[in-house]
Structure 1
């Protein structure tokens, strides 16, 4: 049974029976999770007095045997008979704090740990990532810098990592494959889209110096070019800091990442608390004859009439 709790200082109140319109959304594009719910109000009736005490900055916890979401109330719309409330998890503070940081050959894990400490965030599991970071960041949010560091890691190694939040604690982890069976739980009308609009089959790695026109590495797929025509991407690097083998690897990894038909799907499944953006999921859609490993791009949990439904946006990983 899911429970929703309101935390106001030392006071914890279970508001599960009063709250409605509950939804929880995670998305790779937005970083962090958002949670929305409504509370009934009637300023003439003392039975609804609790609703009037809810303020921005209060903490909301949503749980089901274990914690699913913990966040801060950031927006409240007060209507005649309800309060519509929006919350963000503690990634909110990574998105709202801008910092100035310079990293000189520090490994990616230590860079991210330093950024989290700079805003006094709680730190849990930090997976070791050896990729060296040489970069100056000015007027960027902590979230933007971490996102950029993880992109650098992926470009150089082909490996993907996530900064996940558990309660109020941040964990840096590799993409985790969640074995959740949804084959028999799909309902409604799933959709499947295949597209080459973002495909790239030729990668050039060049200098970030505007006066240097040298091409330091090139990777291409000849067969793909024959079939789809040349689709070229340019990646800039600092040749004074990146050695030849690293530059070649960047070209190879970027080609591997972009040289594909983008296959996406939208579908609804029966709810499962383990479904969240950034995780991997094995899905079989019999209507389309497809059985693939998908990356969850976004996931919205809703609870209409006591049921639990997840709306998923997926991409073949």
Structure 2
């Protein structure tokens, strides 16, 4: 009887796995099919490297939005990486049980807050602050980057801490035995071993940042132009889809799907890089053990 239950469970899990793959392939195929008209009409290269987005005149170029998205993500990573990796090191290497009991739920809470709440926070706090003490309307590249940095902190912290925790204690003990201090051990022993996992955490956080929509719409300004400074309003690829899909028709509709296809390709590349680094890290650990 137990053998029968095991066979049924195995077949059900296999069916679920295959169904998941089929659903993903269908979604990708649907996006590609809906993007074909804009590829034939405008061309893939002209669409990506075009500088003007004007649906009224059937002119579609997403380079300003690609540029804005990449710059925003770069700034958010500059802010998030030191904070998140530093927090992970503190939690794993320095914090006592009491501090861990405070920090863990706090980070989990940050991960569970809806993006619209982050958007409201940026709208009420960050945008007025930039408007008052700097320049412009406050709806800007830097405002969106700050919010994104806060949003990706939990992802990078959680995975980085797990990676640091997975470093065997014998490496720390050997370093201490040679006379190294705690910080020297962390810097020259623990971090190099945990580096592939930390890079994976950063890439996964990057994927979260690329796909974020609601919070960015609320505080970025949504202007489809090249940013001239960090205080310029911008429009990202995800924001462009969310803002215009409700009324898009014909070629405009297909252009938005093409924008989604570009995002999908970028995310798939990031996932592939993360998988490669993770596999390389596992191979490294097996060799060390």
Shared fold (TM-score, shorter chain, > 0.5): no
Structure ranking higher in strand proportion: 1
Structure possessing the higher relative contact order (Cα contacts under 8 Å, 6 or more residues apart): 2
TM-score by length of 2: 0.26
